[in-house]
Amino acid sequence: MKVAYFPGCTLKNKAKELDLYARKSAEALGVTLEEIENWQCCGGVFTTAKDEIATKLSSVRALKDAHRKEQPLVTVCSACHNVIKQTNHAMQTDAEFSDKVSRYMDEEDAYLGETKVYHYLEMLRDLVGFDALKEKIVNPLAGKKIAAYYGCLLLRPNSVMQMDDPENPTIMEDFIKALGAEPVVYAMRNECCGGYVSVESPELAKEKSNAVVNNAKAQGAQMLITACPLCKYNLVKNGADIPVVYITELLAEALGVKEDTNA
């Protein structure tokens, strides 16, 4: 199976492990992530201003590239996924926005939101299947108590993301179970860690980050996993005293391909 892949800026520098383990693990599962040529930054956040077009054009180009290849588009960074999926939704549902984008890009073959966008977790659940994933595990993570940290971007807004229940999600817990580990459910798994205010208010970021970690630990977590580079950075920076690991690193370990990432 081949899918179009949008890695995003952070996965090319500070979050290289998220990208590298994603590629290695996908190959082990029979999926080739074909990186989109000449991709640009997704914009980092999805602005809701009606007259804000320019920062969304890179997402449209990526979506259009996947559409030309008749492939779904897969992302793994929570922020990139949020921006690209919201942009795609806007192209599908907002005729004024879509028209402005088409005129701005000045291309004859207008893109109208035809591409199916998947987060890497959705790809594992919906295209690979968690049962099929279980069959590929060579290093079951039995005995590990792992807390999923969704953060605030992965599932919201639910009307657009449509990935899981934003208040009571299960996709990451099901992922943890497929790897043979025990998921730890805790109250703050889908609350903001404060990453977006870390420059403006480092004290608030630290407070919110510590609240997430302490809540997970209180329920017995030995590790946190996330798909968001900013969340990982913020949790680690503010002193998380349990490991904070990317979902793809844990997957690579369970699939037995982690040791090959420096090859």
The boundaries of the domain holding residue 159 are 129-260
Cα separation of 189 and 216, whole Å?
8
Q: Tell me the per-residue pLDDT of 216-260, one tens digit each, with 9 for 90 and over.
A: 999 999 999 999 999 999 999 999 999 999 999 999 999 999 975
Q: Final residue of a domain: which of 120, 141, 162? A: 120
**How many structural domains does the chain have?**
2
Please tell me the predicted confidence (pLDDT) of residue 51.
84
Q: Tell me the per-residue pLDDT of 177-211, one tens digit each, with 9 for 90 and over.
A: 999 999 999 999 999 999 989 989 999 999 999 99
Q: Tell me the per-residue pLDDT of 41-95, one tens digit each, with 9 for 90 and over.
A: 999 999 988 888 999 999 999 999 999 999 999 999 999 999 999 999 999 999 9
For the beta carbon of residue 152, count every other beta carbon within 10 angstroms: 18
**Six-digit token pair at 27?**
């190959």
**Six-digit token pair at 88?**
């795609």
Residues 172 and 59 in one domain: no
- Please report, in angstroms and rounded to a whole number, the separation of the first and last CA atoms in the chain: 23
Inform me whether the pLDDT recorded for 263 exceeds 80: no
Residues 104 and 192 in one domain: no
Average pLDDT over residues 7-36: 97
**Six-digit token pair at 3?**
């899918």
Give the confidence band of 261 by pLDDT, cuts at 50, 70, 90: very low
Cα separation of 226 and 234, whole Å?
12
Q: Residue 41 has what DSSP assignment?
A: -
Residues 238 and 182 in one domain: yes
Which 3 state secondary structure label does DSSP give 118?
A: strand
Average pLDDT over residues 19-27: 98
Which domain CATH number covers 185? 3.40.50.11810
Please tell me the predicted confidence (pLDDT) of residue 260.
53
pTM, full prediction: 0.96
Cα separation of 111 and 59, whole Å?
11
- 223 beta partners: 146
Q: Which residue has the tokens 């807390």?
A: 147
Please tell me the predicted confidence (pLDDT) of residue 106.
82
Residues 99 and 152 in one domain: no
Q: Residue 123 has what DSSP assignment?
A: I
Query: Which residue, among 259, 253, 21, 23, has the nearest Cα to 138 in the 3D structure?
Result: 253
Which domain CATH number covers 77? 1.20.1050.140
Q: Final residue of a domain: which of 101, 120, 139? A: 120
Residues 109 and 134 in one domain: no
Residue 7: partners with Cβ closer than 8 Å, 6 or more residues away: 19, 35, 39, 75, 76, 77, 80
